[in-house]
Amino acid sequence: MPNKACKFRLYPTPAQKILLAKTFGCVRLVYNHWLDRKISQYKEDQTALSYTFCAKELAVLKEVDSISLQQSLRHLDQAFKNFFKRSGTGFPRFKSKRNRKNSYSTVCVNQNILLSDGCLKLPKIGPVKVKQHRKIPASYVLKSVTVSQSPSGKYHASILFEYENQVPERKPQTFLGLDFSMNGLYKDSEGNEAKYPKYHRQAEKKLKREQRKLSHMQKGSRNWEKQRIKVARLHEKVANQRKDFLHKRSREIVNAYDCVCIEDLDMKAMARSLHFGKSVHDNGWGMFTTFLKYKLEDQGKQLIRIDKWYPSSQTCSVCGYKNPETKDLGMREWDCPNCKSHHDRDLNAAINIRNEGMRLISA
């Protein structure tokens, strides 16, 4: 059975905020304590402490939800498994108290978590007022909740539901190729551009001004805390604008096409570039492809990833001639030496990506 997460805004009372802060602190304490124990144990006799061993010795704090502490141990155990699988996540690190982004997870057991009447009932916290912007179908089964606090001080709950979904996979009839664009997010095989507004660059001047004010204040003072929240809200606004734009564009594409073809790019390597790293971070291509993937799957449609070494920009989409001169990224338009066709670099690449995706589907 598939799962779906729904995120809602929480409005806890002052007393509930204190309880949430205690829970965040206890979860962080448990994680750091057992990470230190695991490191010491391995240095001592080259053995590893399992989750079962840690859970047996876990001292349950009555003030907070015990399941959230167990989940913290599970997250630590999974972090070590990911590290030894060499998945690129790195060695588990201690959680800092100075990190303004806090979260904890808990599991629904015997209806200890309920969402009803505009409130979310949480273990040890009680009913918290929630802004429920969507109706949850009666067939959905609540499985777990992750409560988080953003750096700006806002609280959110990401609720995981399990539901039955038997969407038949449909045979693709309409295809669209997307070529990644550094400035406008993408250009598709129909010649359309996303025209991403570059929200971070729009807010860059204001961000610099507010961050400069923050750097001149005494750290830890009341004015410093007020200014820190102001800066955090600016960053949060940019992130929300970006996410809103990507959701709308991905929805338009999914409603219009059965299969979307993209290149499987290494965005982390591109983001490390000195020339266009900021543009890669700003347009959020990785987030965009994630939105495309789950929205297509919900309707039985497909997202096809083309090998990143496929020469989409070098190949003529008309005759298939491979032009090595187009390796120069500054060449935005070119004429095919073989068939004399004139090409826009990005449009030609998007058409080639679409054609390669169609070939992979039919193979």
- Alpha-carbon separation of residue 346 from 46, 180, 195, 251, 265 (angstroms): 54, 8, 14, 22, 15
pLDDT computed for residue 273 by the predictor: 64
Domain 175-362 has CATH 3.90.1690: no
- pLDDT digits 0-9 by tens, 66-125: 999 999 999 999 999 888 887 667 899 999 988 889 999 999 998 899 998 889 999 999
Active-site hit among 179, 210, 258, 356: 179
Q: What does the alpha-carbon distance between residue 250 and residue 231 come to, in Å, rounded to a whole number? A: 29
263 catalytic? Reply is: yes
Question: What distance in Å separates the CA atoms of residue 153 and residue 331, rounded to the nearest whole number?
Answer: 47
Q: Which of 77, 188, 346, 356 is catalytic?
A: 346
Angle separating helix axes 66-84 and 14-45, nearest 10 degrees: 40
Q: Alpha carbon of 71 to those of 60, 101, 144, 360: distances in Å? A: 13, 18, 11, 41
The answer to whether residues 6 and 161 touch, using CB atoms and an 8 Å cutoff, is yes
- This prediction's pTM: 0.86
Residue with tokens 């920009």: 313
Q: 308 pLDDT band (50/70/90 cuts)?
A: confident
Q: Mind listing the pLDDT tens digit for each residue in 161-193?
A: 998 877 777 889 999 999 998 888 999 999 999
Domain with CATH 3.30.420 in the chain: 175-362
For 233-281, the pLDDT digits (tens) are 999 999 999 999 999 999 999 999 999 999 988 777 776 765 666 777 7
Dihedral in degrees, nearest 10, Cα atoms 245, 175, 299, 146: -40
- pLDDT, one tens digit per residue, over 312-355 is 989 999 998 898 888 888 888 989 988 889 999 999 999 999 99
HSE (CB half, 13 Å, CA atoms) of 50?
A: 3
State the DSSP string of 312-349: TTTB-TTT--B-GGGGSTT--EEE-TTT--EEEHHHHH
Set 65, 77, 188, 263: catalytic member: 263
Both tokens assigned to 18: 């204190």
Residue 346 falls in the annotated catalytic set: yes
Establish whether 179 is a catalytic residue: yes
Amino acid present at 172 = P
- Model pLDDT, residue 129: 96
